[in-house]
Structure 1
């Protein structure tokens, strides 16, 4: 497959074979995904756009986070990868790809829904990388529930802690360490604009991420710190097979987009690179939608 700079048909650039019905126990592994997701392992070509930068990536073991880790490293950044302990197999593979690019990869397993761990990630980055100037909050929890009556308070709370509270804890802890020029990139979703009836809690958190990011962008602008958002559409990751979607819906996953297919994690990485780099120096408070052409406000 050609790299991301080669002129080509975007519909055919990342072919998406119809996935079979499948399910995994949470949080799910890319190693057990059919077909495997494309993180840009064979295609992403860096150009030193993040040379010398120091990044913290949550959810860095698989899916979008893994693609961002590979891209950041090939652009010259060292990274701390946050992930759940159950995802160690995936995390080690991505860490090796970071090291193959000549950069430092620090493995930091834990659950961002735990405040102590989430805040500790900042200090891990500062101690192990010698500083921190990029935060990519990508880890997310998505569990479909057909009927609101079956959505427990505990599950609702865990989704908010993973998707929203962790962002707040990490950014608040990081502020004393972030220099002018630092970039914070949060992750929303098409669900913020077109919420699915089975994803009430998840969609609500993604709308909240848009709002908190726009408020923070204004607050932190005088400090020279930019805050932006990437909002993916349907992207093929283990999240979908580990309770994110009903298994019987997976063979049609992504077909509702104008491109007629799901996206691959590799297609998200350039958006994060752009927002992390000085190329986006006058961009803050923006939500960049990467969703195969689905209209958003």
Structure 2
């Protein structure tokens, strides 16, 4: 068995701060795309990846770089993680610009898009990936503050970033949104989070219809359970030991198992894909 085929040994752990630090995780997620070999599918392209400091976002940023793209990473405040991602992007021979801020703020989203243009002169790919989640066992425990925060980070940010990016995007550009398996099967303890992920599916399909005549293709990826910093920063310490065991493959996914879906959707290989959702979820069959 390869490391990715075996169930990882995940000890109990918890982080108090969301969206969490990859540097503090044990074991570290496999997000460095070590076995991925690029073939210039994104040569000369420029991508924005939100939440690109760690987890799926890190793997996507590194994968894009290995395919020839320069990357702008927007992240909250995980500076150590972001610099590590930048190191890997630069090791792949590409440039990486880091921007720390809140994607739930429209002005910051405009700054992210403007930075891509000022740094690289173009914008070809937007990956809306940043998200947060706050488990609650009952809807009665979800405060108005939590509800608004979850939707602001997970959904409103996508509206803000697309609006900021669109004036710079030309025919052939791609927008890729991160939704979740929870959008399709629900989650009793992630009611507001799963609701945002359902909204992202509708957003993806509707935006695709709106932009397809402009030659801009919009798609999404719906990962299943993936070992990222969001997990230990969301759930109780004891619950972490069994994370991902209910997936048909019996284990959580690793970020570098998810990133190829984004690379495909960003490349010319996906030239006939619009309004679709890919499902790297460990074997769970959902109504797509």
Smaller-chain TM-score bracket: over 0.9
Q: Find out whether 1:29 has 2:57 as its counterpart.
A: no
RMSD: 1.2
Asked whether the equivalents of residues 14 and 263 of structure 1 are also in contact (C-alpha less than 8 Å), the reply is no
Provide the C-alpha distance between the structure 2 equivalents of 1:60 and 1:13, rounded to a whole number of angstroms.
22
1:35: Cα distance to partner?
0.8
Could you tell me the TM-score, scaled by structure 2's length?
0.96
**TM-score calculated relative to the size of structure 1:** 0.94
| Aligned 8 A contact 1:63 1:236 in 2 | yes
**Which one of the candidate residues 40, 44, 62 is aligned to 1:48?**
40
Distance in 1, matches of 2:28 and 2:14, equals 14
Shift of 1:41: 4.1
CA distance in 1, matches of 2:68, 2:122: 15
SS of residue paired to 2:56: helix
1:96 corresponds to 2:102: no
- Separation (CA, whole Å) in 1 of partners of 2:52 and 2:196: 20
Counterparts of 1:126-205 in structure 2 under 5 Å? Answer: 126-205=117-196
Shift of 1:216: 0.6
> CA–CA distance in 2 between the matches of 1:178 and 1:108?
20
Count of matched residue positions in the alignment of Structure 1 and Structure 2: 286
Aligned to 1:4: none
Stretches of 4+ aligned residues off by more than 3 angstroms: 11-16
Selected match of 1:207 from 189, 198, 201: 198
Per-residue CA distance 1:94-120 (angstroms, 9 max, x = gap): 101101111010011111112211222
Q: CA offset at residue 44 of structure 1?
A: 2.0
Are the equivalent residues in 2 in contact too, given 1:57–1:138 (CA < 8 A)?
yes
1-side partners of 2:47 and 2:7: how far apart? 30
- TM-fit CA distance, 1:220: 0.4
Residue range with higher mean Cα deviation, 229-238 or 145-154: 145-154
Kindly indicate whether residue 249 of structure 2 is the aligned counterpart of residue 264 of structure 1: no
What does residue 75 of structure 2 align with? 83
**Which residue, out of 255, 271, 274, partners 1:281?**
271
Distance 1:93 1:210 in 2: 31
Q: Separation in 1 of the partners of 2:277 and 2:91?
A: 32
Q: Which of residues 226, 241, 254 is equivalent to 2:244?
A: 254
* Residue 14 (structure 1) shift: 4.5
What is the 5 A alignment of 1:103-122? Answer: 103-122=94-113
Cα distance in structure 1, aligned partners of 2:231 and 2:9: 14
Please, which runs of 5 or more residues in structure 1 have no aligned partner? Answer: 1-8
Q: Where does the alignment leave 5 or more consecutive residues of structure 2 unmatched? A: none
Whole-Å separation in 1 of the counterparts to 2:193 and 2:237: 18
Answer whether contact 2:4 2:254 (CA < 8 A) is retained.
no
Query: Could you tell me how far apart the structure 2 residues matched to 1:141 and 1:134 are?
Result: 22
Secondary structure in 2 matching 1:239? coil
User: What is the CA deviation profile of residues 265-284 of structure 1, one whole-angstrom value per residue up to 9, with x for unaligned ones?
Assistant: 00011100000001100100
1:240 aligns with 231
* Per-residue CA distance 1:145-189 (angstroms, 9 max, x = gap): 122222111111111011100000100111111010000000000
